[in-house]
Amino acid sequence: MDLRANITHLTPVARGLVGAYVVSGVIHLVKPQVFESIVPKQLPRRRELVYVSGVAELACAAGMLTPRTREVAGAASAALLVAVFPANVEMARQAHSRITRRGSTPQREVQRALSVARLPLQWPLIRSSVAIARGGRG
């Protein structure tokens, strides 16, 4: 497999998504506690869900780099992004709540801004994943 050719075949957004999946997937597996607190409270077995989502991220990244599996991986990626959106909302809610409870600090304001800004950024990532699923470059 020519990795360079497979990466350059993707759009910059899709390449960024693959890179983000690799980094995030590894962190999910190595330091799952980082993500456990943002798993919505209604869901059981938080640690296991973090591991599953980490493996799913790595599988989507690998699948999008492989021409034979790219379309299936694009569809899986779109589904994964939708599935983890509630965790992203919870992260933004927690960041806002910390400021409400403990007061504003520059670090808390940056965390809140980043977690809120992340929410609309999911849309181009989902669109890119759907484009890949439809046989495009993302």
Q: What is the pLDDT of residues 75-116, one digit of tens each?
A: 999 999 999 999 999 999 998 888 888 888 888 888 888 889
Instruction: Look at residue 2 and tell me whether its pLDDT is greater than 80.
Output: no
Which sign, positive or negative, has the C-alpha torsion 81, 83, 85, 91? negative
64 closest CA partner among 17, 105, 98: 17
Which residue is listed with tokens 């929410």? 119
**3 or 84, which is more confident?**
84
Q: b/e per residue, 87-96, with b = 16+ CB within 10 A? A: bbbbbbeebe
pLDDT, residue 3, reads 64
Instruction: Answer yes or no: are the C-beta atoms of 86 and 43 closer than 8 Å.
Output: no
Residue 124 structure tokens:
């181009």
State the alpha helices, DSSP H only, in 31-69: 33-36, 46-65
| The predicted structure's pLDDT at residue 89 | 94
Q: Is the pLDDT of residue 39 over 90?
A: yes
Rounded to an integer, the average pLDDT of 21-39 is 96
**Would you say 54 and 27 are in contact if contact means Cβ atoms under 8 Å apart?**
yes
CA 122 and chain centroid, separation: 8
